[in-house]
Amino acid sequence: MQVTKKEYQFLTQIKGSDYSGDGCGFTDYITDYDYDMKVVRGLIHSLVEKGIIVYSDDCGIDDSKGRAMASADVTENYQDIENHKLINIEVA
């Protein structure tokens, strides 16, 4: 699947999150602390359309200010958990 450089950077940030090191898949909580939400909203929409991520506006966990956090999970077809790398993705 082809992605833009910005999409790939976003996916790399998800892969590198503290929550992706547990062996259960590449996931990250999406907050305005870690991400520029004006940019990320467009990336999320595009990557969901391509089937590369699954996104939830409310994952059931609140941030330190009591706001519901969103989550993004890279789908199985695009992650190699054992070798901790993204797969089947080409940067256009």
Q: What is the pLDDT of residue 32?
A: 78
Give me the chain's average pLDDT, please. 91
CATH 1.10.10, applies to 2-91: yes
Confidence at residue 62, expressed as pLDDT on a 0 to 100 scale: 83
For 1, 59, 71, 74, 77, the CA distances from 68, given in Å and listed in that order, are 31, 7, 10, 20, 28
Domain ranges for the chain: 2-91
Q: What is the H or E stretch that residue 15 is in?
A: helix 5-15
Q: How far is it, in rounded angstroms, from Cα 10 to Cα 17?
A: 11
Q: So what's the pLDDT on residue 28?
A: 92
Q: What is the pLDDT of residue 75?
A: 97
Asked if the model's pLDDT at residue 20 lies above 90, the reply is no
> Does the global pTM surpass 0.85?
yes
In the chain, % of residues over pLDDT 90: 64
